[in-house]
């Protein structure tokens, strides 16, 4: 009985440490809603540490398209960040 308790404690402790290590980067909430009759709704919480691993499965042509679209928005985002630095209440506060 004591051996079973030690095994359960070791497994539980390992699970807690694995969760803490994975969640240290934070989580990302993914919501996918189809706006049609009978559409599906998918809501997930994903550890942010998993994103670099998932990016290996994205087709390369999709990444090039996203990079091209992001390049067009960079001057606007640069100006926005530059202006937000002037306002102390515009900072992102850690939770």
How many other CB atoms are there within 10 angstroms of residue 67's CB atom? 9
pLDDT at 82 over 80: yes
> H or E segment at 78?
helix 60-84
How much is the pTM? 0.42
**What does the pLDDT read at residue 37?**
84
- How confident is the prediction for the chain on average, in pLDDT? 83
Tokens of 59: 């087709």
Please give the distance of CA 81 from its chain centroid, rounded to a whole number: 21
pLDDT at 95 over 70: no
Q: Helix, strand, or coil here: 17? A: helix
| Mean pLDDT value across residues 21-42 | 82
| Mean pLDDT value across residues 7-14 | 93
pLDDT at 1 over 80: yes
34 touches 41 (CB < 8 A): yes
Between residues 59 and 84, which one has the greater pLDDT? Answer: 59
**What does the pLDDT read at residue 91?**
57
């Amino acid at each position: 009985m004591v051996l079973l308790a030690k095994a359960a404690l070791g497994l539980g402790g390992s699970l807690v440490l694995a969760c803490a290590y994975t969640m240290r980067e934070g989580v990302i909430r993914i919501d996918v809603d189809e706006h049609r009759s009978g559409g599906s709704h998918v809501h997930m919480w994903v550890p942010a540490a998993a994103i670099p691993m998932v990016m290996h499965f994205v087709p390369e042509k999709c990444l090039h398209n996203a990079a091209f679209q992001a390049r067009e928005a960079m001057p606007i985002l640069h100006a926005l960040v530059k202006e937000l630095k002037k306002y102390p209440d515009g900072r992102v506060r850690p939770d």
